[in-house]
Chain A
Amino acid sequence: MLQVSPVDIAREAQRLQRNYQFLSYGLTAAWLILVAYVLMMVGRHRKLQQEIASLRAMIEDRAPGDRSGGRLAPSRSTTV
């Protein structure tokens, strides 16, 4: 007849606890990577917008007679 000792029960409970602990580490790490990437994208977007604004301001300063104010249509051309 199989008998389960209190030590076995405690060991099994410990193993389960460790399993859940590492599962939570795994999910947290994966989510953190994705969130960090999204935050990096937001930061880059902000930087790009600031750079566009400063370049436009610079062009407007340099060409005050230009009615378009140096503004360019958003570049969607296929050649650079």
Chain B
Amino acid sequence: MGAFQWLMKKITKVFGHSTNALFYTLLYREILKEINEITKKEEDSLVILKEIGKRSGYESCERHSSIFKFMPGSPKKILEYFEILWVVVFGKELDDYSYEEIFKEDSKYNDYILKISKCPICAGYGQDNEDTFDFSKTKKEKTEGLACGLSGMLESVANYILKLKRNDYRIQIIEQTCMARGGDSLQFICKIHDYKQWKELLDSKDQEKDTLNAYFGERLEEEIVQETKLDIFDKLQDVISIDKLEEYLDEPLETLKERISDIIRDKLNMEPDQFFDYFRNYEEDMVRIIGYLGIHLLNEYGGILERSLKNEWFAKVFGYLFKQIKETVLLFIPLDVIRDYNELLVNFLEGLAPIEMVDNIKTFTGKDTINLLFEGAQMALENLGIEFTELKENVWEELKKEREDGLISSESSAADKTRERVPQIINIFQEMLMIITDILTLPIRVLISESHYGLKTAINSVISEEEGLYGSIKDRFDRIFDQIEEIRK
């Protein structure tokens, strides 16, 4: 599984609100039954369920649009990431599936058929007395099955991403076979249309339009986002989307430099040395900006950091963690490593930035660089809500103070809950510190291996992806996400 897929799945799982899957499925069934109570026509009910799925998927996307900014913008890629869409919409891993590409003549994109062997929506349907929606009353060949609400959600999420990425193609997702209707699997066909074809397709569905008009009064209209002025992140986003993470990991430093140069030329319309010339004689500020932007860039991925820091308690914990790292970073990183980092920065800038600027940076000690980076990062964290001036010497004093002030409830159940969370929180601290320690060994590996095997070799430590640095970091993040999930429960 690619890094991007893994990250998106973890983020959406941890930050969505989950319930037991059987409750989900039974609620879904009840919604269909209530629709059918009104329409009394099974085929109409399925059309309406799909529309409700589309609308609810669209609402979720609107509320969390920043997460989708970093999803891949090509229809083909979106289908490749169907697994993520399934998790985003359904919150459940897609256990066993296959897809087949169907060649489409005179078309930029082919159609895809997705075959999913296990469908949670259809699980056990028909075995309980309350499963009263009768599929035998649906006669039309093109009628979708029980998962049509789900296909509506998937279609809506996929098209929202395309709209957000200013892509003029749209995806139609139709449920072709349904296990509740006797199929051997859940099967979707995904057709990719350009916007004109898409509009024509929607207009041509007279019967569906009539049904929706009769019961809803209007259809969910989708507009093409007009080309508006883009900010620098929007411009860079096409190139630095985290779905390209794997590509970056594959490329050594020189190729990375070339790529950065291309980005600056393409997106900012200037030569790299012109771009870096803006920072000449302000090299210290430039390093601070890297720290500052690093935090803000992290926050760009769904605004998760900013939202988390709105919680006063979490902001304090994060603040203490940051302070601790800032104070101890120089104790546990060998000076040689820090020098290597500095050298890495110099190597990176050579050929990209003006010579005078590179010379100025060469005068920085490794300690200077680290301190400047942390200063920048601290400024960004202050922007995002951490009040560093209000923090105590350490987190234990903070907890003690809150108890005395009565800010943490003295009610035993609340105290119990807090105590229950302590092991998870300590685990998160520990894992984060271990990640940082792992990462801090990176420059030595990069510099040594650059001339031999490149950046990927360094990251994977010549053993294997799973056992190397990348694998180690992934494992640690897996554990952190697990602990967060435990706390949220």
Q: Do A and B come from the same complex? A: no
Q: Interface residues, chain A, CB within 8 Å of chain B?
A: none
Q: Interface residues, chain B, CB within 8 Å of chain A?
A: none
